[in-house]
Amino acid sequence: MNDADPEWPVPGINPDVPSTARVYDALLGGRDNFKADREAAEVFAHLIPQVREAARLNRSALIRGVQYMVRRGGIDQILDIGCGLPTEQNTHEAAQDINPDTRVVYVDNDPMVLSHGRALLADNRTTTVVTADLRDPARILEHPEVRDHLDFDRPIGVVIVGMIMQISDDEDPDAIIAELMKPLASGSHLLLTAWPDTGDPAQHGLSQACLETLGNGWIRPIERLEGHFQGMPMVPPGLEYVSRWYPEDPDRTVPELADFEPYEHTQMAGIAVKP
């Protein structure tokens, strides 16, 4: 942990057990992680040589998706669930660069995200962070700070990036997303990234490494990933591999699948709009 840690020790944190948020932070080159997290990141890097590139690819989808929602989708309030620890460019920065009035609520179930987020956002009145779990969508929707910060009578951009693969089939990710989107206004967006299973060895390697190290990280057939979007209309180009996904420029010339690096087969992104 670095010296700039705002509130240490943070209740509920066990520095000896790697957490997804901190391992991901280590993979992105951040400093908000412990030895156990860095060791887990090394295990990943050993099992999946391009795991750092994969983490950065996921980040690029997050930023592109947020930029689309704010610039093209008319979204000025965002609920970013499983937001992770603050890093180089965050959702609120990408959004507020385009529209400084964009309101953002970050949600994560890791208490370290709350303490670091609060420190980062101390002077930002349009952005806040709360601790809650995607597996309990009712609690997120009823959370007083979420209610205070976001106007549920107007469209909200929901961000679930780099985390739906952490919800098991038994926990029913589609039912969770349906419950979350149900009370939202027409025009609300869902930005989501997920891990496909098309039989590609890189996909299986990434999933296996996550399951072994963190106990979650499920890949799913593309039809299952499409199901996460609840049948809502998709913004072009639809659900696509991140290296080919440019929602603000869907006609752009993109690489062929055959030219992909192995890690580029591991992540897909999409945005759907609630009718």
- Short-list 152, 157, 110, 154, CA closest to 131: 110
Q: Rounded CA gap, 254 and 236, in Å?
A: 14
Cβ 22 to ligand SAM, closest distance in Å?
A: 8
Residue 166, interface with ligand SAM (CB under 6 A)? yes
Helix (H, G, I), strand (E, B) or coil at 36: helix
Cβ 45 to ligand SAM, closest distance in Å?
A: 15
Residue 226, interface with ligand SAM (CB under 6 A)? no
Q: Rounded CA gap, 140 and 147, in Å?
A: 9
Residue 135 or 154: the one with the smaller Cβ distance to ligand SAM is: 135
Q: Which residue of 24, 218, 229, 241 would you call a contact of ligand SAM, by CB under 6 A?
A: 24
Let me know: does 158 contact 184? Beta carbons within 8 Å. yes
The site string for ligand SAM over 88-127 (x = CB under 6 A, - otherwise) reads: --------------------xxx--x--------------
- Short-list 177, 157, 161, 265, CA closest to 227: 177
The answer for residues whose C-beta is within 8 angstroms of residue 84's C-beta and 6 or more apart is 21, 24, 25, 108, 113, 162
Cβ 131 to ligand SAM, closest distance in Å?
A: 9
Residue 6 or 233: the one with the smaller Cβ distance to ligand SAM is: 6
Which residues form the interface with ligand SAM (CB under 6 A)? Answer: 20-21, 24, 58-59, 62, 81-84, 108-110, 113, 133-135, 161-163, 166
